[in-house]
Chain A
Amino acid sequence: MSSYSLPGVSRAAAHDASSSELAEAVAMPLDLRALFEAHHASIWRLLRRLGVPIAQLDDAAQEVFWVAARKLEQIEAGKQHAFLYGVALRVAANELRRQASAPPRGAVEDLERLVDDAPTPEEQLEQARARQLLDAALDGLPLELRAVLVLFELEGLDVRSIAEIEGIPIGTVGSRLRRAREEFSAIARRQRARSAVQRKP
């Protein structure tokens, strides 16, 4: 059993009876449940923004926690998020490599799924559209730039933390971030121009 426990999450609160049974049934450390609950959503979101298609998101998130389960003992207290982010980057990179040789995925289908998840109000529809534009813009970046931009802009990590997660020097993170912003900005500019043209009567 791992001695690792999530700060601020008591075992009693984190594990109800049914989850205890499940964990016991597969001889799984209970702390994994807490780790899963605390980070699954953010890992899902990160994988999404790194370009993992929606159809593969659940599997990719599972893969991240598989790795975490196997290395639970090695995760330092307070660094669980960084550990999971690092694993997610590798899982996303593998998934994208696999996708590169697969037929193109249905962007429309993805959009519909996003719309379905956020029903009715107009602003949510608008937000879903903005997300689709964001993903399209991020799709235009190489993964090394995309990862740095996503971790900095969306996950709010500082340059030092990103360097630690990626295992690269701080200076490299800085230069990647600069290039990522430039390229993202150029793509977003084209998107905005296209939108403006489409909205004209």
Chain B
Amino acid sequence: MTGHEPDERAQIDFERSLFESARGDAPPPGATERAWRRFTADAAWLAPIAAAASAPRGWFDWFDSAAARATKWTLIGAIGGGSLVAVWLRPQAAREPALAPASVALEATAAAPVDTAALALDAPAGTAPAPPSAPPALDTPPAARSRKPPAPVSRTSTGPGAESLLAREVAALDAARTALAVGANASALRQIERYHREFPQGELSADADVVAIEALAAEGQSAATKRAASRFLQRHPRDPHAARIRELAR
């Protein structure tokens, strides 16, 4: 028994030395400053994405599931299609006033050729949106319609119904997708930032994140792409876009 005591003492000292070895452990010199710079650089691109992804969403979590998303898009299509049919059945003179601003925003943005000026991408963050422009006539050629600035997506604009809110989200997202499609990646990212600012609990936030990640990848921001993709996959592991996001992160 007595023979064990020195060994026990040595064992305790050994364990203590292991713990002591970690006390001085610290990141390499300058690492905190470098990490802060990276943090702020990431924040500029990703803060809205992360904020939206982590926002408490309640029943929106269900709404965001793959099956529900199919239902949601079908619903949007039905509402949009129904509106257009209704408009075309009305006399020509009554058509323009019949259009709700949100529908116009959706239509105008989707039809517009990619033009960063028209997308008002250079407006400073936090600037109050301009009042909605006059709705374009449906029989105006797309090229002429595209010269008009797109109707701003505003939380306070008309359309208290959920479908109107969703339509505005779709419009905002479409603008970003359009920018992405022609390689205006930085513009697409700004559009997504605006989307997240305006719809902090947006129902299409996962879709918006996909666009942002694609834009980051197209912009050659591989580190930011990987981080954003990793966060996305953590939060939406079963998202239909997951395979695409994994591919982008490679």
Chain A residues with CB under 8 Å of chain B are 19, 22-23, 25-28, 33, 36-37, 40-41, 44-45, 48-49, 57-59, 61-62, 65-67, 69-70, 94, 117, 127-128, 130-131, 133-134, 137, 153-154, 184-185, 188-189, 192
Contact = CB atoms under 8 A, between A and B. Distances in A.
Contacts of B11: 185, 188-189, 192
Contacts of A184: 15
B50 A131 contact: no
B18 A137 contact: yes
Contact of B40 (A22, A40, A153): A22
Interface residues of B, number: 36
Contact of A41 (B32, B230, B234): B32
B25 A48 contact: yes
Contacts of A58: 31, 35, 38
Interface in B202-228: 227
Contact of B18 (A22, A25, A36, A134): A134
Contact of B36 (A40, A66, A94, A137): A40
Nearest to A27: B125
B156 interface: no
A188 B32 contact: no
B24 A127 contact: yes
Interface in B1-47: 10-11, 14-15, 17-28, 31-32, 35-40, 42-44, 47
Contacts of A137: 18
Interface of B: 10-11, 14-15, 17-28, 31-32, 35-40, 42-44, 47, 50-51, 54, 125-126, 227, 230, 234
A23 B10 CA distance: 51
B23 A154 contact: yes
Contacts of B42: 62
A33 B35 CA distance: 11
Given A61-B35, A70-B54, A117-B28, A130 B40 contact: no
Contact of B21 (A28, A62, A134, A192): A134
A49 B32 contact: no
Contacts, number: 97
A59 B35 CA distance: 9
The 3 A-B pairs at the shortest CB distance, nearest first, are namely: A130-B21, A134-B18, A40-B32
B189 to A, nearest CB: 13
A89 B24 CA distance: 20
Contacts of B43: 26, 28, 69
A201 B38 CA distance: 49
B225 to A, nearest CB: 13
A40 B33 CA distance: 9
A99 to B, nearest CB: 13
A94 B234 CA distance: 9
Nearest to B50: A66
B36 A36 contact: yes
Given A26-B43, A188-B15, A37 B36 contact: yes
B32 A37 contact: yes
A33 B39 CA distance: 10
A185 B15 contact: yes
A75 B49 CA distance: 22
Nearest to A185: B15
Contacts of A154: 19, 22-23
Contacts of B28: 117
A69 B26 CA distance: 22
